[in-house]
Amino acid sequence: MVSERPKVQFDKLTVRFGDHVALRDITLDVRHNEILGIIGPAGSGKTSLLRTLNRTLELTRGARVTGTVRIDADDIYRLGSVSDLRRRVGMVAPLPVGLPMSIYDNVAFAPRMSGVRDKTTLDGLVETCLTQAALWDEVKDRLADLGTKLSGGQQQRLTIARALSHEPEVLCLDEFSIAIDPVTTMRIEEVLKELKSTITILLVTNLVQQARRLADRSAFLLTSELVEVGPTEQLFGREPKDRRTFEYVHGMFG
């Protein structure tokens, strides 16, 4: 039975960089085991929203966050361990960032840092995560090769496998397909559809049709504000609540 409590809650979230307001008074719930698409033109605050969730935003000089962000009932800014939070929230950046180590070690790195030492356990985790990322069949015979030697699309899937290796509750993807080919993009999209059975996914994308293909619901951000959120087909149909949403998803600006 799915909990009625949202998995993630942003409540009156405001993010400032000095005098610039990146997000203003955002209140948004993310449900268990859904893909929430986050759409909007560049500069609308989409990436900042994701970065509040794993508290990497506070690493940026001048950033200031007010409001509340919760995972389940936990106020993430009151948690004692940021490392524990980041194990709960996986993050995939727009460009693949491979660690300068083997394919195997890229995936095993986070479990080892968490104290997993048993080789059989690590072997199983590596295979599971690479399979979930649709990469296992391509690399299973060369796990000792450098991850940075893989193609761009393979490196992005390796990044996803690494994000899954600490068994996160929430997976955040920020323009994951910006540097990969359409065939690889479609493969990863199929992976995401399967993953949502066990993980809540926040998908930032500038590709509105990608949001339409993947997202159960979509949230439209514009100039730091949440214009509307609702079922994806409603936002992409002929009658979204706000005219600006219609204009954006139909390519009239952005």
Mean pLDDT of 103-120: 94
Mean pLDDT of 170-181: 91
Residue 12, burial from CB neighbour count under 10 angstroms (0-12, 13-18, 19+): exposed
CA dist 233 → 60, 204, 214, 246, 248 (Å): 36, 17, 11, 12, 14
User: What percent of the chain lies above the pLDDT cut of 70?
Assistant: 99
What CA dihedral angle connects 221, 223, 226 and 231, to 10 degrees? Answer: -30
What pTM value is reported for the model? 0.92
Residue 244, burial from CB neighbour count under 10 angstroms (0-12, 13-18, 19+): middle
Q: How does the average pLDDT of the chain come out, rounded? A: 93
CA dist 150 → 93, 162, 212, 224, 240 (Å): 17, 14, 30, 37, 42
CATH T-level assignment (fold) for domain 8-249:
Rossmann fold (3.40.50)
Both tokens assigned to 127: 């295979």
Encode pLDDT of 120-169 as tens digits: 999 999 999 999 898 999 999 999 999 999 998 899 999 999 999 989 99
To which residue do tokens 């727009």 refer?
A: 94
More reliable by pLDDT, 73 or 46? 46
Q: What is the pLDDT, as a whole number, of residue 1?
A: 41
Question: Does residue 45 carry a pLDDT above 90?
Answer: yes
Encode pLDDT of 186-238 as tens digits: 988 998 999 999 999 999 999 999 999 999 999 999 999 999 999 999 999 87
Helix (H/G/I), strand (E/B), else coil: 130? helix
Question: Does residue 2 carry a pLDDT above 90?
Answer: no
Which residues on adjacent β-strands are paired with residue 66? 14
| Per-domain residue ranges of the chain | 8-249
